[in-house]
Amino acid sequence: MYEIERSFDQQIASLHKARPVVVITEPLEPRVLEAVCHLARFMRPVLLAPEAEVRDMAARHLGHVDRARIEFALAESVFVDVPRRRELIEEFAAHCLDHGSCGTGARSLDEARDAVSEPGLFGIYAVHLGHADMVVGGATHTPREFFRPMLSLLSNQPVVCEAGVFILPDDHPQGLYPHNIVVFGDVGVNAEMSPDVLAQTAVGTCLVARDLIPEDVLPEIHGAVVCYSHKGSDEGSSPEMVRRAMPIVEKLLAERVARAPRYASIRIAGEVKISAAISRRSAELYGGGEDFGGGTNVIIVPNLETGNLLYHLYASRYPDARKFPVLFGLKFRGVDLAKDCSPEDVRLAVKAGVLRLAKDGRWDCTPKDTFFRRLRVLAVNPGSTSTKIAVYEGEREVFSEEVRHSAEELAPFAGRGVVEQYPMRKAAVAAALERRGLKPADFDAVAGRGGLLRPIPHGTYRVDESVLRDLRAAVGGEHASNLGGLIAHELARPAGKPAFIVDPVVVDEVHPRVKITGVKSIRRRVISHALNQIASAHRFAQDHETFYEKINVVVCHLGGGISVGAHRKGRCIDANNGLDGEGPFSPERSGSLPVGQFADLCFSGRHTHAQVRKLVKGAGGLIDLLGTPDLREVERRIAAGDAEAAEVFEAMAYQIAKQASSLLPAFEGEAVDGVILTGGMARSAALVERVSHYLSGLKCRVTVYPGENEMAALAHGALRVLYGREEARTYLPEGVPVLAK
């Protein structure tokens, strides 16, 4: 059976859109609540019930669902006790009374208040007036309570259609519907039947199919508009009605193709007998061929009774089928659940709505931030020759910019501590913000890249005098990231806003056994790409609808330097010192070396101490082996037949996998949930394939999050504190850091 839910998950993830705000009007219905527990990574749930009642319902009815999954979903949700949201009730009631479009018949403000206080209508109005993006209901509501007012308030065109999507099991006769995927549509949602209504329904149903099923699965969508008799007098089912509708179909489809080229793969045939549409034998007998049977994906019937008959016939005959309804004409804003829906049906219906909304180029974010405040965070990430800045509103990036510092600007600071660059860098950031019409007071917090401080546990730290003192003193060494906390503090302080640093490279939560070496005077230091590693682990946890504190993962940051860390239940318990070149060799770093041979090299007289240090970090790895740090250039050489480049590439992939697998003892026998590949080199499909091949014996999933992701990691670290999901930590250089009070 075609795995449509996995397809939805992959498509939604690939679109990189913000999560829409979805109002769940029936959270105390166990089927719906169970579905929500599998949806929180795709949407931001608004549950219209008190939190205590939802938790009680979960405890009584969802014992078969993993507890961490439930807790994650509820942590991502907002609970709305409707009678207590008086400001929204007043807004909705006034609109209801003034416009009367919700069909309540309210004649006074009190009657309108009573009407909109019902969860169904409350949720619909929340979407209608821009407080949310989508509303879900119908599992327990009557049509009058939910379906009809939803159509009245949310429809954006005169004709609305409801399609039933089926993924039939493998025991369905093969070949009639490609991949056993079929979509049924009818005109029953509309009060009157006309050629225009039929045409709108036909096109709308086919658009639904194209939006949901990728072209590599169904290269073309074949729709069939059926009729019942060549002699029938029923205008709704007559060939004449279909004939009159088909020119309108062509016009509407052309308009859609002009707006979205993907719809060019839709073909719609008219005046097809119902038997030919659903039977290969009938199609052959009637001469319809592939256009009318044995290739049809979408069947449009001109009346409600036949549509319902087909839907329930297939649902009864194939109880294991994947099925869900989709509404067209509401601008993706409403989901109407069937009374007999299963939790899986609910998941599929909601994911279908989220996917179509994400594909719509007109949607960017929820108009109003009533339920999920869009707190604004400025992220600052200083590098050696540039300073990156990004502004986030909630989880959505508003803009990012890399402020480059010319050689002339940096020349006066040659040979001096990096902190001397602070005034110049801060001024450049302030100027970049000013060009965007922004000032520091516009932000709820500023997050700076953490520098080389003393070893600390992971987390988001308030920038205080202890942090500033150690950054200015460069207690862990000179590095441009030392400027992150300084700039964040000085931008936030005048406006009285908090400044944070997030997961600096010195995150150290390892057991003493990790640091002991065979030379008493040498202890391993832990310096890694902690920011991106931990952010990637958080993302992996969210993608699996759980918490960082609940997973075991190995994270491989593959950049100019490579660091590989073991993350066990919310702590980074081992990592190679990527700064000093330990671990696999990388584009610029030597990696771990045979100690005896390296000692001989150091004392050979051919290299100074500075040259040896440069070979370890800055001129080693791919630079020394192949003369370039650019993996893309290495791949081009391999494609051109360069055997040496191929050998070096294979060695690097092997060493990355070897480092990752060497961390298994850190988990002390616990299962590893996954290996994560991240960083710039994770964009290389060839490298990912080779590393994954070498790791296949671990029997766990390899997940790829390409790119540095540092700006998002900084913003999300600050937001976790601002939203109360984590406590900010206080940096205590003389002792063990603790949570801030």
Query: What per-residue confidence (pLDDT) applies to 249?
Result: 94
Domain 161-329 fold is Rossmann fold (3.40.50)
What share of the chain in percent tops pLDDT 90?
77
Q: Are 465 and 481 in contact (CB under 8 A)?
A: no
Pairing between strand 499-502 and 460-462? antiparallel
Q: How far is CA 273 from CA 140, 236, 239, in A?
A: 36, 14, 9
Query: What per-residue confidence (pLDDT) applies to 312?
Result: 82
| Residue found under tokens 């192949």 | 626
Q: Across residues 519-532, what is the average pLDDT?
A: 93
Q: What is the mean pLDDT of the chain?
A: 91
Q: Can you list the pairs that 93-100 forms with residues at least 24 positions away whose Cβ atoms lie under 8 Å?
A: 95/125, 95/128, 95/129, 96/121, 96/125
In three-state secondary structure terms, 723 is: coil
Compute the CA torsion angle 510, 516, 521, 527 (nearest 10 deg): -30
Domain 518-708 fold is Nucleotidyltransferase; domain 5 (3.30.420)
What proportions of the chain, in percent to the nearest 5, are helix, strand and coil?
45, 20, 35
CA-to-CA distance for 421 and 492, rounded, in angstroms? 19
Query: What per-residue confidence (pLDDT) applies to 373?
Result: 94
Query: What per-residue confidence (pLDDT) applies to 306?
Result: 77
Q: Are 730 and 516 in contact (CB under 8 A)?
A: no
Q: Across residues 303-329, what is the average pLDDT?
A: 86
Inform me whether the pLDDT recorded for 237 exceeds 60: no
Query: What per-residue confidence (pLDDT) applies to 699?
Result: 86
Query: What per-residue confidence (pLDDT) applies to 280?
Result: 59
CA-to-CA distance for 649 and 86, rounded, in angstroms? 63
Inform me whether the pLDDT recorded for 85 exceeds 80: yes
Q: Across residues 371-380, what is the average pLDDT?
A: 96
Which candidate, 534, 536, 561, places its Cα nearest to that of 479? 561
- Token readout for 342 is 């299963």
| Residue found under tokens 């599998």 | 38
Q: How far is CA 546 from CA 15, 257, 537, in A?
A: 22, 40, 11
E-only strand ranges, 200-319 = 221-227, 266-273, 298-301
Query: What per-residue confidence (pLDDT) applies to 47?
Result: 98
Q: Are 160 and 201 in contact (CB under 8 A)?
A: no
Phi, psi of 364 (to 5 degrees): -125, -45
Query: What per-residue confidence (pLDDT) applies to 93?
Result: 95
In three-state secondary structure terms, 249 is: helix
Query: What per-residue confidence (pLDDT) applies to 513?
Result: 94
Structure confidence by residue, pLDDT tens digits, 92-111: 999 998 887 777 888 899 99
Inform me whether the pLDDT recorded for 228 exceeds 80: no
In three-state secondary structure terms, 299 is: strand
CA-to-CA distance for 422 and 430, rounded, in angstroms? 12
Inform me whether the pLDDT recorded for 238 exceeds 90: no
Query: What per-residue confidence (pLDDT) applies to 287?
Result: 44
Query: What per-residue confidence (pLDDT) applies to 733?
Result: 66
Q: Across residues 442-452, what is the average pLDDT?
A: 95
Query: What per-residue confidence (pLDDT) applies to 289?
Result: 44
Query: What per-residue confidence (pLDDT) applies to 424?
Result: 95
Give Dmax (Cα) for the chain. Answer: 102
Hey, where are the domains in the chain?
4-154, 161-329, 373-506, 518-708
Q: Across residues 198-211, what is the average pLDDT?
A: 94
Q: Across residues 530-558, what is the average pLDDT?
A: 96
CATH class, 373-506 region: alpha beta
- Specify the range with the lowest mean pLDDT, choosing from 26-35, 66-75, 316-325, 652-661: 316-325
In angstroms, the first-to-last Cα distance of the chain is 54
Structure confidence by residue, pLDDT tens digits, 262-302: 999 999 988 777 666 666 554 444 444 444 445 788 998 87
- Structure-model confidence comparison of residues 338 and 284, the more confident one: 338
Inform me whether the pLDDT recorded for 671 exceeds 50: yes
- Structure-model confidence comparison of residues 497 and 288, the more confident one: 497
- Helix pair 631-639, 643-661: axis angle to 10 deg: 130
Query: What per-residue confidence (pLDDT) applies to 311?
Result: 82
CA-to-CA distance for 629 and 678, rounded, in angstroms? 17
Q: Across residues 299-310, what is the average pLDDT?
A: 80
Phi, psi of 296 (to 5 degrees): -75, 135
Q: Do domains 4-154 and 161-329 have the same CATH topology?
A: yes
Query: What per-residue confidence (pLDDT) applies to 542?
Result: 93
Query: What per-residue confidence (pLDDT) applies to 290?
Result: 47
Q: Across residues 724-738, what is the average pLDDT?
A: 77
- Structure-model confidence comparison of residues 314 and 375, the more confident one: 375
Residues 6 or more apart whose Cβ sits within 8 Å of residue 667:
552, 566, 568
CA-to-CA distance for 183 and 311, rounded, in angstroms? 9
Q: Across residues 194-209, what is the average pLDDT?
A: 93
Domain 4-154 fold is Rossmann fold (3.40.50)
Q: How far is CA 579 from CA 94, 508, 530, 625, in A?
A: 62, 14, 12, 19
Inform me whether the pLDDT recorded for 232 exceeds 50: no
Query: What per-residue confidence (pLDDT) applies to 623?
Result: 97
